[in-house]
Structure 1
């Protein structure tokens, strides 16, 4: 780990801040073609200049000229266009006529985020009496990264001390509580090495670091709890230290191995998505699981051999640290199994109530409204939405190939008459509602390169919205007698959403098949893997309903802090929440099933094995879930709504799974299915026996 850290710690400078678009989509092809053939990029920065009087007044024109010169003098600026240089179209000024757009493109050798910061610092919020508001993707990325970076540091300053306090109470001694931190630290260092390797071949999101930090500590706690707990049990039987470690690794160690394999396979499903934000989470998740498992199976038993009973040194309280066979969880399980049908029905109805909270759910991608409402970036975006009719900074970019002049004219006319399209620019000139102004054609002579013609269509709806997606769908549905590719911000948004939704069925199939195979090999049962999958799906849908009620309906702001209610649930973030919690749920499922199966194989009936198995593992599962939730909940202090959603969603789903699902639904369903829990066809049983993994 020390050697790997030399490379791993070099990975941070190579991490990227975006990664939400589909690189193989039609919109990306258009973007590449515009850059390579037309030497045109979408404006990296848009400035809304408020003059206080009409933008056409002489003083406003003079101020605009001076502002343009000031921008052009900044190093790294390639070009500036505005309401004034583009022929003063109505859509480039506000509806009250006092504000106008300025569009800025950068040189190819500058970094967009750094150049945006330079321009904003140079110009400030006001210049010569003109109020300046900055918007655009680079502005939002800078605002998100800066806010998230600060908020994550704040959250970790709360989470780490809180986790340490909980670890002391959970493990009962200072030495034992320190072991998960060692495993977590090793997991982080090793994972950063794998991330560094990944950066040599592909883009990796900076948010992978946050996932690694949280997962490393979480898995370190989970696996250390399971192994130390079992080691204490073996020592309580009077087994020698060496034999106690061996017995621990043959039982709890085997569970950790299978648990790690299952979690890694689930998290690996993220690599099927085309956007590198989600793929990065897949790389990071698999890396951290592999290293955490290696730490738990190699480093932890070595430490237990060295420490022996000193693992219990510096105890926090006097109670016996060895798990007992009677207690709260055995009582709960027997209560549930005596009333299996009513408990099952009541629990399902309660979860159904949570699901119903999300009956108005819709999915989308992040925009400026996830920032604090008083953020300058959020204020600028609100001005753009409410005071300008057209989305001039985010037009549709269309490339037509092989069109004659007559065909192009017909297409442009049809395009300009499409709902929500307010203006079309092409080599023909400017077209509004089918009427073309040929006098402006000279402004767009660079719209034709060889056999390709560039067309710019401005809509009056927000590009990154469902309405923007609908406009893209309508434009793509037009059927001209030549090849057409549609790009731009709205098309990129639509393609990114489609890139996610198209992969969801494959994601579910991957997760179901992989977890079924692994859980079957682990348990020798056909029913238990199917039941685990379905219960996890129910838990995730209930979590989605809860998140919809909170973040779309605007509830619980008195508890989690103020935010602007969202128009939709961020798709990438919910996919991440779902996959991570599904993996951790399978973690807890294996912890529980391993003890139940072990006791059942020793000759206990289903009811007794479930009761004792839940008693021996329930405390571990609950404690691990509490510490992990404590690690995620401080994210609620963030001013970025998606970070709040990530923290609350993961904590809620984990606690729901560790209590309601494991404590109520699992005992109830295992009681109802009885001997069927362990059934498998003879040929499948033969595979399980040959594999030797279910013994």
Structure 2
């Protein structure tokens, strides 16, 4: 199959390149508007109880669950004439809009509700409202309102917060951060590629493949937005993963092509051989990465599903471009792939003689790996202990739903400033109330009052607002708004002083659920959303993990014909990920580097990110495993297959690939690390976590631990039960078999 693809590229290179250029232009034009069709939510399931509760409140109770919060601040106080006038103007403007309902403010609600909407120092007060429509439309409306109503007038400052505003600010920040990350990653990657290849021409090829993969994926995502919800956060992975994998795959193929040219093959034969060998590695790597990322599709959250869509699309595009378009480019360039070699003039400028090509046995990697394998047991034990120690903080991991604190404190986002004010300056956070709907309730109002009184006795509850009264500490303190009790049922708001995303918030929610209700109660609000989100993830996590493990094992078995090597690869990947997750807990949950990164330690991690990182990193780690095993296996199959041959095959395989996969890891790390420049904390976490995983995997894991374990396992590395061995002989891809007669002319150019 790969030889046929190579022949297609070598016989019709200009036709393929023209078609690719046209496709890239069309995809770029069509995909340019993708951001305006993507969404910023997707952290909860559409059929979760909290989601259904929010819909009922929006439909039946005038949007009494606010997603828009305006913070009005004045040094003269919230009761000053200027602040009162601004508050009245805001209420009037919001009520005049057809897309905002349920507007109320400190200045037009009775006590004790008014007290809850005024800050502790009496200098700030709130205006609340509910923006109708789905979350994408709501966040756009929030942006319009922010432009029209926020700012400072007569010494009174208006800032905007609330969930819709958070989504709007995150959307704006992600778009900006994406441009910054690309501006950092692409130039740095190009510099490293020049250092790796020497040739300016060769260094441009991986970037060209990466840009093609990104443009193609943007068009695919734009198409998907017509049929389903796609998260805007998937764009970060599209650019980062597309560029990283395209660089990796191109690096493998171009390096093998140049190696075959140096071995004496003519241009066409070198292209065919590069696709036949390195192309096989690319194919298996792409299959492994795609299957790992596709496992995200089992979660009933479009945030994670979007990463599955984007991941599979960008991997397929990068692999297709690498095994079809890149060979066509190489065929056109021929020996000119080595043109514009900058190492020679730089060497002359620095007074250094050109370095002669070394035999594998003379390289740093061969000497290092040979030394490691002479002390295989202590090296393996030391590295395993080190990685487990780094991963130990993950034992204390806690998870919570993201709020405005995902925006860094130094981000230019007022929703973060309003969120901080609500948490620190008010007796209760209006953005994190627990909401309860008794759908269809038409019972005795007194029973509803008893229920509200019982809820108000739960520790950490500041008060309960219902259609029959406002309750605090088990007693009725005032009359409640009648709009909370109508023909559709009843609605209650529980104001809480507890952070809903912590274990205390979960405990309080359980206590609220335990209060006897006069009718079946549906719970919504921040705490319920948090519990529902964690439950949805936890219920599907075992299935996703099992699919990744099974798919990876099958692909690596087909690649190697071994049963033990896939098991070893799975164990090593898990080990490197454990270390990365431990570092993420230490940095982002416990906040040890928060001042450097600008992030805020909330005491928990956003739960979707470790899952996303696991799937991505698992696939990317297999990228290097496949590349390394490909050359080791090539040497093993050409040997006498003794224990000594196994040791030599490992050393030669690492010697031939060590420089390439460490360069690939450095390049991928640059691309991933560029995401750390983001001002959205969980994007930072993904970028830093993947960077650490890739670097550890390419150095400690593949360069030291994997060779040590392969030395200890000896010839058992290549063992498989007889039935599986026969199965692999039938269906496993293999480049060591003889080339068919029709392919002999292509390989006859060896001089």
Alignment correspondent of 2:218 = 192
Distance 1:20 1:555 in 2: 26
- The CA deviation at 1:652 is 1.2
For 1:433 and 1:557, locate their aligned partners in 2 and report how far apart those are by CA, in whole Å. Answer: 38
Structure 2 match to 1:232: 258
Q: CA offset at residue 565 of structure 1? A: 3.1
How far does residue 33 in structure 1 lie from its aligned partner after superposition? 2.1
Give the aligned partner of residue 727 of structure 2. Answer: 687
Counterparts of 1:323 and 1:453 in 2: how far apart (Å)? 80
Structure 1 residues 322-331 or 674-683, which shifts more?
Answer: 322-331
Q: Could you tell me how far apart the structure 2 residues matched to 1:169 and 1:283 are?
A: 34
Q: How far apart, in 2, do the equivalents of 1:107 and 1:351 lie?
A: 49
Q: Are 2:133 and 1:94 aligned?
A: no
Match of 1:495 in 2: 532
In structure 2, distance between residues paired with 1:304 and 1:282:
32
Is the 8 Å Cα contact of residues 290 and 311 (structure 2) preserved in structure 1?
Answer: yes
Runs of at least 5 residues in structure 1 that lack an aligned partner in the other structure: none
| Equivalent residue number for residue 644 of structure 1 | 684
Q: Return the offset for 1:340.
A: 0.4
Q: 1:184 to 1:390 in 2, by over 3 A?
A: same
Q: Does 1:248 align with 2:274?
A: yes
Q: 1:605-684 alignment to 2 at 5 Å?
A: 605-684=645-724
Equivalent position of 1:400 in the other structure:
438
Name the CA distance, whole Å, in 1 between partners of 2:133 and 2:177: 32
SS in 2 for 1:111: helix
Question: What is the distance in 2 between the residues matched to 1:63 and 1:186?
Answer: 52
> Cα offset for 1:546?
1.6
Deviation at 1:45, TM superposition (A): 1.3
Q: Tell me how far apart the structure 1 counterparts of residues 543 and 675 of structure 2 sit (CA, whole Å).
A: 30
Find the residue that maps to 2:189 and give its secondary structure: helix
Partner residue of 1:440?
479
Structure 1 residues 426 and 622 mapped into 2: Cα distance closer, same or farther (>3 Å)? Answer: same
- Segment drifting more, 608-617 vs 683-692: 683-692
Taking structure 1 as the reference length, what is the TM-score of the superposition?
0.93
Asked whether 1:163 is paired with 2:204, we answer: no
The residue aligned with 2:497 is 460
For 2:494, what is the secondary structure of its paired residue?
Answer: strand
2:401 equivalent to 1:362: no
* Conserved? CA contact 2:399–2:605, under 8 Å: yes
Q: Does the 8 Å contact 1:22/1:496 carry over to 2?
A: yes
Relative to structure 2, which stretch is displaced further, 624-633 or 610-619?
624-633
Q: TM-score, normalised to structure 2's length?
A: 0.86
Q: CA deviation at 1:593?
A: 0.7
CA contact (8 A) 2:438 2:521 kept: yes
Which one is further off, 55-64 or 547-556? 55-64
Report if the CA contact (8 A) 1:38-1:449 is conserved. no
Is 1:317 paired with 2:343? yes
**Distance between the aligned counterparts of 1:131 and 1:240, measured in 2?**
73
CA displacement at 1:39 relative to structure 2: 4.1
The answer as to whether partners of 1:139 and 1:377 remain within 8 angstroms in 2 is yes
Unmatched 5+ stretches in structure 2: 1-19, 345-353, 736-751
Say if 1:325 and 1:530 are closer, same or farther in 2 by CA, change over 3 A.
Answer: same
Bigger CA drift: 287-296 or 205-214? 205-214
Say whether residues 1:580 and 2:603 are aligned partners.
no
| 1:391 corresponds to which of 429, 432, 435 | 429
Q: Deviations over 1:613-645 (max 9, x none)?
A: 111111111011111112222333333333332
Q: Give me the whole-angstrom Cα distance separating, in 1, the residues matched to 2:329 and 2:649.
A: 31
CA 1:118/1:54 → structure 2, altered by over 3 Å: closer, same or farther?
same
1:167 is displaced (CA, Å) by: 0.8
Are 2:62 and 2:102, in contact at CA under 8 Å, matched by a contact in 1? no
Alpha-carbon distance in structure 2 between the residues aligned to 1:58 and 1:151? 41
Does 1:278 pair with 2:304? Answer: yes
| Counterpart-to-counterpart distance in 1, 2:76 and 2:223 | 56
Q: Distance in 2 between matches of 1:226 and 1:55?
A: 65
Superposition deviation, residue 12 in structure 1: 3.2
Root mean square deviation of aligned Cα: 2.5
Q: CA deviation at 1:422?
A: 2.4
Cα distance in 2 for partners of 1:238, 1:632 equals 37
CA distance in 1, matches of 2:436, 2:520: 10
1:49 to 72, 94, 99: 72
1:528 is aligned to 565
